[in-house]
Structure 1
Amino acid sequence: MRFINFENIIRDAWEEYDPSRNVISVTDISARVSTNHVFRVKLENNDAVIAKLSYFGYYEHFVEDHTLINALANNLNAPYHHFLARSLMKRNHLYTYQYSQSSINVWVIFYNPVGVKRKLPRVLSELQIRRLGQEVAKFHRACFKLKNILPDWSKTMAIDIEQLRKILDSDDGQFEHRMHIKSIHQQCDTLFENMQELGAYDLPAIPVFVDWNIGNFSVDEDFNFYSRWDYDWFRMSSRVMDFYFFSRVCSSIGDQTSFSYLIDPLMEERFLWFLEEYHQVYPLSRVEILFMKEAYRFFILNYVIKDGRYFFHEIYASRLQQEAHSVYFPELDQKFSADKILAKLGLSE
């Protein structure tokens, strides 16, 4: 993307939102592995807000996601009533700002800042993993209770995969994925066939945030969720979609500056500790355990293959996409064992 003065766009967005309070400064606080941009906006009288700026995907999906998140934030009961950062409203509507010029589309949303307590350690103890499993189950259960009162949504796994297929047919897609077009189509076919066979399309959809990197949320002294502020990969989908990142949080390798998306964490004993506790609080079904394999396949197809070059900086995107073909997909059938998880949870037939 050619150079754009993001600070000026943030200032214009705020001017449209509330011209009565001047912007004093705009500071980029973005994570350096991502192409998304986050800013701390200092206003008059020491007020401050957080601005999120995005320029890939669709503006309609951006608005849809944040409308759902805001509805979720406003309807969650204690202890999660203050967990999610709330977006700013203008009169009766969620406020978003869209900047369009020639082929450039950028959109902005503002959040109220959230407090941060403790971030998880890079490597968790068994007790911490088990406590996290209980907490995630409670949060998922709270989200499930609200699924019927949330606004409608349009973005589904099928829509994302069909969009990937369209990209593969485009000139840009033919160039970017020229060595792997056929194999990507085969992975898409496998995903749809296996989901149909499993009956996974009937799994209830709840709000899931997918990316549970330890830099995206904080907990209190008892490992209760305290605050969450990153919504880049939010979607309405099966709760299983959250599990891969929690397996990475539980991994013996721990949080890494240089990262890959290997299947291995899903098979570690440490993640089974997490699932044991989760299952005791909010029981999982056989279909959901079997679907974990396809949720991982979708994650690689959607967030690494389809959106990788938009979300990650080029140095990460190229490596992750190469690893998808040389490691992630080949090892999926070799290493993932649903039977191991089913036996651990007492769900074997």
Structure 2
Amino acid sequence: MHRLINFYSIVEEAWADYDQSRPIRSVVDISAMVSTNHVFKVTLADGDSVIAKLSYFGKFEHFKEDHSIINALATNLPHPFENFLARSLTKANEVYIYRYISTSLDAWVVFYNPIKKRKMLPRRLEEDQISKLGKEIARFHKACARVKGVLPPYSKTLKIDLEHLNDILDTENGKYEHRGHIDVTKKQIEIFHENSLLLKSDSFETIPVFIDWNIGNFSVNASLKLFSRWDYDWFRMSGRVMDFYFFSRVVSDIGDRTEFSYVVGPLMEERFIIFLQAYHKEYPLTENEIRFLKEAYRFFLLNYVVKDGRYFFHEIYATKLQREVYEIYLPTLDKVFDPEKLLKALKL
């Protein structure tokens, strides 16, 4: 259905609504071709350019909320992160979001100023690079925590997202899409809630987290200091350990992979322990946060792969990943993840 939609014309409509005085010369699709989101480079007649992102999964209210928080974060982050995040264009002092509604599509467009990029992380990091990255991410998280008090309110929580998944499983479409896996999915949601209660996750500090830290989403300088970030698909306000699974993949011995796989193994690698030790020295973690890594991973599978997989990933990836959630990822979680090893390494 969406293949018949002219996304280019929607972007053109959005820009005309934003600033009709500056006509468009060209619109070029620069999407990564992995997700269903669309990213365009919009070149204006005067030679300037902006980046347009078009999205149509999730809720418009959450999309608007997330971008409002991100823009406030970008504006208020202290040195050396004051220019790290790509900023959205604003109108009348608010992030400008264009909403396109038709009988077949509810889509939203937001514009960004282009952001400079430096170096991408190497596909496989050396151990000293892992330590530097761990320290840098700790400093970034501390900076995010420092300004959380001036950010707009948020409504999206882990509990709400999994309640939404539970509701989906009770619908006709949900029963069809997740057929054969309804009971196990509901059981996993129950386990998440039980363990979250035991670990008192509600007491964890809530900060802005971006979750998807694939190396294609941000750049660093020659010293591995964070330089720029431009992808916000999985942004949310939550505990800082929600970011850690993707960093375990970034520092993994295998290194960055072109083929998608979300096995739990990287959380147990010695190389991730090096990352954690460097992070912990800069911004100490608690025992319960380390134990919650397992639940953060479980939530990632349930929310981003099972619930939103078919809306975010292209169908070939979504089908593969959702099958592997039930055949590989969840069945091996209890066998592979051992928090005691991580706690011992951090002397907690």
Please say whether Structure 1 and Structure 2 have the same fold, judged by a TM-score greater than 0.5. yes
The one-letter code of the counterpart of 2:104 is: S
Alignment of 1:247 with 2:248, yes or no, is yes
What's 1:10 paired with? 11
Alignment of 1:24-43 (within 5 A): 24-43=25-44
Query: What TM-score, normalized by structure 1, do the two folds share?
Result: 0.99
Alignment of 1:147 with 2:148, yes or no, is yes
Q: Residues of 1 paired with 2:15 and 2:101: CA distance?
A: 16
Deviation per CA, 1:202-259, whole angstroms, max 9, x where unpaired? 1111000000000000000100000000000000000000000000000011111112
Q: Residues of 2 paired with 1:130 and 1:92: CA distance?
A: 40
The one-letter code of the counterpart of 1:313 is: H
What's 1:76 paired with? 77
Displacement of 1:260 in angstroms is: 0.6
What's 1:158 paired with? 159
Per the alignment, in what secondary structure is the counterpart of residue 253 of structure 1?
coil
What's 1:121 paired with? 122
Per the alignment, in what secondary structure is the counterpart of residue 297 of structure 1?
helix
Query: What TM-score, normalized by structure 2, do the two folds share?
Result: 0.99
What's 2:204 paired with? 203
5+ residue gaps, structure 1, are none
Deviation per CA, 1:112-147, whole angstroms, max 9, x where unpaired? 000000000000000110000000000000000111
The one-letter code of the counterpart of 2:237 is: M
What's 1:345 paired with? 346
Displacement of 1:266 in angstroms is: 0.3
What's 1:184 paired with? 185
Deviation per CA, 1:16-42, whole angstroms, max 9, x where unpaired? 000000010000000111111100000
5+ residue gaps, structure 2, are none
Q: Residues of 1 paired with 2:103 and 2:35: CA distance?
A: 24
Q: Residues of 1 paired with 2:105 and 2:115: CA distance?
A: 31
Deviation per CA, 1:257-304, whole angstroms, max 9, x where unpaired? 112100000000000000000000000000100100000000000000
The one-letter code of the counterpart of 1:37 is: H
The one-letter code of the counterpart of 2:172 is: D
Give the length in aligned residue pairs: 347
Per the alignment, in what secondary structure is the counterpart of residue 148 of structure 1?
helix
Q: Residues of 2 paired with 1:241 and 1:115: CA distance?
A: 27
Q: Residues of 2 paired with 1:88 and 1:240: CA distance?
A: 30
Alignment of 1:101 with 2:141, yes or no, is no
Per the alignment, in what secondary structure is the counterpart of residue 27 of structure 1?
strand
Per the alignment, in what secondary structure is the counterpart of residue 43 of structure 2?
strand
Alignment of 1:218 with 2:219, yes or no, is yes
Per the alignment, in what secondary structure is the counterpart of residue 110 of structure 1?
strand
Alignment of 1:272 with 2:265, yes or no, is no
Displacement of 1:91 in angstroms is: 2.0
Q: Residues of 2 paired with 1:251 and 1:92: CA distance?
A: 42
What's 1:261 paired with? 262
Displacement of 1:69 in angstroms is: 0.1
Q: Residues of 2 paired with 1:129 and 1:135: CA distance?
A: 10
